[in-house]
Amino acid sequence: MKRPLRLFSLTLLLVLLLAACAPPAAPVAEAPAADAPIVEESAAQEPAAAAPAVTSTELNVLCTPQVEWCEGMKAEFEKVYPNITVNFVRMSSGEGLARLRAEKDDPQFDIWWGGPVDSFIAAKADGLFEPYASPNLANLTNNELFRDQAEPPDWVGVYVGSLGFATNTAKAAELGIEPPRSFEDLLDPRLDDQVMIAHPSTSGTSYTFVCTVLQVMGEDAGWNYLRQFNNQVFQYTKSGSAPGRFVGAGEAAVAIVFSHDIVTFIEEGFPLDLSFIESGTGYEIGGMALIKGARHLDAAQLWYDWALTSEAQSLGPQYRAYQGATVGNVTHPRPELLEVELINYDFEWCGANKSAVVDRYVTEIATADDVRE
């Protein structure tokens, strides 16, 4: 009877060893923290599907808004998903598009967050994005305007902002001018070498202005206007918001910047007056898209879903970002920035023609060789 008992013992030992050496079960996605973003509930929305398991522990973000907001979004996302470290690089829209094109075969970013969707439309045409049917697309308040119309979409909107003029009040008094309220006001001889704007080859802000001119005036009259406008420009910058800071410091009289950036500079104490084109101003929809070939696609999808919640889109003012939201249940801290006359901006035309328009601007009007950082 001893031999059968010994065999049983050996068999039991072998089973225990095999169990100990077996690979662990697939990890289960960590439940979000108690304050994690949730899908807004409404009669028109379906509940979000359960999040898939996430194995990535880092996320690389191409971030186009101001650095302070990029840093804030990184910090807030890491609070919700503490197992993921966010790395971001801040680039203007033009720089970001050029970088993604250059890295198409070996992408270094997982997601692009922010910047006018004209560049996103151009990037889509180059096959740079990974379409994604986020469960939180249901939160968008305007499905025709705030997302790509493909199914699933290549890009989606995460904020809205209108173009404005920032006028240095001391300079205006010195020159005897009022803050501009029309395209024609910018051609006032007293503003010769007194206007600052970013270059459209690097800045989505500037490209929005150029494309607004072409849409409002038509191409022939628009290009003629832009040639005259160039004579008023003191200096082009790389970043779209930079002219507001330089004009606030008194280097020129007028900056063409998105209005939410002007509000930020006014809050910093710069002597600036905010005005708009009264007949109708251009505006941006800030985009977001997953990068095709992303190394951390699962983490990028988490960011994408999170950025389409009211919780995430309510964070901007904490980081001095006053853009309007694209999802519901968000109280805008500066409603006057969106209560202005807007043109019927054709994002598809501006996106499809971006390369041609920028090339013509560089060739016929102003090169980008000496843009200011």
CB neighbours of 362 closer than 8 A, spacing ≥ 6? 201, 368
CB neighbours of 337 closer than 8 A, spacing ≥ 6? 161, 162, 164, 259, 260, 263, 322, 324
> Cα(101)–Cα(120) distance, rounded to whole angstroms?
12
Chain centre distance of CA 186 = 28
> Cα(33)–Cα(133) distance, rounded to whole angstroms?
24
- Indicate the pLDDT class of residue 310, thresholds 50, 70 and 90: very high
Tokens of 32: 């979000």
Looking at residue 325, its pLDDT comes to 95
Amino acid at 365: I
The superfamily in CATH containing domain 58-159+285-333 is: Periplasmic binding protein-like II (3.40.190.10)
Tokens of 69: 């907001």
Burial 66-88 (b: 16+ CB within 10 A, else e): beebbebbbebbeebbeebebeb
User: Is the overall model pTM greater than 0.85, yes or no?
Assistant: no
Amino acid at 140: L
Domain boundaries, the chain: 58-159+285-333, 161-283+342-364
- pLDDT-above-90 percentage for the chain: 81
Dihedral sign (CA 205, 338, 177, 271) = negative
Q: What is the mean pLDDT of residues 297-316?
A: 98
Task: Compute CA distances 174 → 59, 105, 169, whole Å.
Answer: 50, 54, 9
58-159+285-333 and 161-283+342-364 in the same fold: yes
DSSP state of 156: E
**What are the pLDDT digits (tens) for 142-177?**
999 999 999 999 999 999 999 999 999 999 999 999
- Indicate the pLDDT class of residue 205, thresholds 50, 70 and 90: very high
Tokens of 337: 């920035």
Please give the CATH architecture assigned to the domain spanning 161-283+342-364: 3-Layer(aba) Sandwich (3.40)
Of 288, 292, 287, 304, the C-alpha closest to 130 is: 292
Residue written as token pair 């070498």: 193
Task: Compute CA distances 327 → 140, 142, 334, whole Å.
Answer: 4, 8, 16
Q: What is the mean pLDDT of the chain?
A: 87
> In terms of pLDDT, which residue wins out, 318 or 5?
318
**What are the pLDDT digits (tens) for 59-105?**
999 999 999 999 999 999 999 999 999 999 999 999 999 999 999 99
> Cα(314)–Cα(112) distance, rounded to whole angstroms?
19
Of 240, 262, 260, 207, the C-alpha closest to 373 is: 240
CB neighbours of 237 closer than 8 A, spacing ≥ 6? 196, 197, 198, 199, 203, 243, 246, 371, 372, 373
- Indicate the pLDDT class of residue 335, thresholds 50, 70 and 90: confident
> Cα(217)–Cα(121) distance, rounded to whole angstroms?
23
Number of H helices, E strands in the chain: 13, 10
